[in-house]
Amino acid sequence: MKLLMFHTKSFWYKPYSPNSSETEKTSFENCLVIFIHAEETNKDNSDVVDKAVGNIKWLANKNKTNTVILHSFAHLSNSKSDPETANNIIQKIGEELDKNLSTHLVPFGQFYEFSAHVFGPSLAKVFKDL
């Protein structure tokens, strides 16, 4: 699994619809945006959820935020899990994080337009290979 994590001042997303500009944005302030890439080897590895949750909670604490946005992003490795596995892993991560943090999952299986204003410090931009 790969995690590309950003501490953002602001983040919004909306479904990509080439025929309409009227799609509503979903917006957040002072949050972690976590792009998650589930790999083929993650299917039978329950340990990967615990590792991801630990890394995300650590980064949220370091950046003093309690809002986390989880976004599937299947472009961080050549090894990809099947979509069902990726969605299940993201759901499990979300369930665990939601016990301590305000967690939002970007709906799985669509294309999105998004904007992220990322803070400047080094811990605002973190990549993890789990």
Place of tokens 């980064």: 59
Domains of the chain plus CATH, in order, are: 2-15+26-119 (3.50.80.10)
Reduced to 3 states, what is the DSSP secondary structure of residue 100? coil
At residue 44's C-alpha, the angle toward residues 38 and 50, to 5°, is 65
Query: Is the CB of residue 67 less than 8 Å from the CB of residue 30?
Result: yes
- Span 7-28, average pLDDT: 88
Task: Count the Cβ atoms, other than its own, within 10 Å of residue 112.
Answer: 15
| pLDDT tens per residue across span 20-60 | 666 789 999 999 999 999 998 888 777 999 999 999 999 99
- Span 84-101, average pLDDT: 96
